[in-house]
Structure 1
Amino acid sequence: MRAFSTRLVLLPVALAGGFAMVAPSGASSSIEASRYPKPPLEATRVLDRVTLNRLVQNKGMSLQWISWDDSRGTVSARMVDGRMRLTGSQFATNGPGQIMLDGYVTELGTGYFTFEGKIRIIDAPDGGRVCEADKSWHFAITQQRRYFRLREFEWCDDLTDYIDIYF
């Protein structure tokens, strides 16, 4: 006689402000649905409309280890209940490198914004490298560039990671 095992499969369900993993109807699970990231209590502080428009109408993102050319990644900046949700990713076209970000913008000022959330770099510039942090990040425009650059350059293993969001 052959023994069979059953396995509970959780399905991703989109919710305002995140995703939840839930069991299909009729199934039971001891795993609670959780959302990431948790929205901040305060609304996004918009101190500069030009910066707000540049971020909402952005033209993608890049990590220099992956590419600065036409293979930019995508960024979504949208208001959810008065809070700006920011998600983005870029995947290498000729290799395994990738970057992802997910969180909320807490403040938009003249030429800068503050982002609370997670940034994850995988396999860039070398296979096996994994950098991930969930914290407060600062992006700013410097030297009249056409992008916001992450100001924390060496936040993981002493390599300088240039993360840019273009406008």
Structure 2
Amino acid sequence: MRIRSTLSAVLLCALTAPAHADAVPEPTRVLDHKAAQRLAANKGLTLQWIDWNTRGTAAIRRDNGVWSLRGAQAGAGGPGRLFLDGTITEIGAGYFTFEGRIAISDTPDAGRRCDKTKTWHFAVTQNRPYYRLREFEWCDGLTDYIDIHF
């Protein structure tokens, strides 16, 4: 029984480990300190397919000059899920770049799966109170609005 629970813990760690765990990232380039403070104090994230009223979490961690972002949102009473995990490589006035994984599952339709690791771009446009993912149709032609609110 103890071997099974240890194996389960190891598998859980392997499945939830960040995609960037093997690489030692460069320190985050902070070009605008006010924007960095705004991002660090964010008020959660949303994917329009899940719910704009019930925000998920977007946790920012700073470790030796490297900023990381890990976020998630789950549909209340539904199967939809959003997950982000990676490193913020640059923060500028009205934007940030993020290198890591974004995964969407079971939304807007059951069985939909989008999962990609790459460099992503988020920006504030039209004075909106959030950073929006700028790669809109990155998966299967649907437009996914992923927003990190401030």
TM-score, normalising length: structure 1: 0.80
1:85 to 68, 72, 76: 68
| Residue in 2 that maps onto 1:9 | 7
Question: Relative to structure 1, is the Cα distance of residues 94 and 35 closer, same or farther in structure 2, using a 3 angstrom cutoff?
Answer: closer
Checking the alignment, whether the CA contact within 8 Å between 1:65 and 1:125 is kept in structure 2 is yes
Shift of 1:50: 1.3
Shift of 1:78: 1.4
1:78-157 alignment, distance < 5 Å: 78-157=61-140
- 4+ aligned runs moved over 3 Å, structure 1: none
Q: How far, CA to CA, are the matches of 1:41 and 1:63 in structure 2?
A: 27
Q: How far, CA to CA, are the matches of 1:91 and 1:50 in structure 2?
A: 30
Tell me which protein shows more helix as a share of its residues.
2
Query: Which of the two has higher C-alpha Rg?
Result: 1
Q: How far, CA to CA, are the matches of 1:20 and 1:128 in structure 2?
A: 24
| Residue in 2 that maps onto 1:42 | 26
| Residue in 2 that maps onto 1:162 | 145
Checking the alignment, whether the CA contact within 8 Å between 2:18 and 2:85 is kept in structure 1 is no
| Residue in 1 that maps onto 2:51 | 67
Q: How far, CA to CA, are the matches of 1:162 and 1:57 in structure 2?
A: 21
SS in 2 for 1:11: helix
Higher relative contact order (CA 8 A, sep 6+): 2
* Unpaired runs of at least 5, structure 2: none
Checking the alignment, whether the CA contact within 8 Å between 2:19 and 2:101 is kept in structure 1 is no
Checking the alignment, whether the CA contact within 8 Å between 2:90 and 2:96 is kept in structure 1 is yes
Question: Relative to structure 1, is the Cα distance of residues 74 and 35 closer, same or farther in structure 2, using a 3 angstrom cutoff?
Answer: closer
What fraction of aligned residue pairs are identical, expressed as a percent?
A: 52
CA displacement 1:70-114 (0-9 Å, x = unmatched): x10001011012100100000000210010000000000000000
AA partner of residue 110 (structure 1) = A
AA partner of residue 47 (structure 1) = L
TM-score, normalising length: structure 2: 0.89
Q: How far, CA to CA, are the matches of 1:10 and 1:134 in structure 2?
A: 25
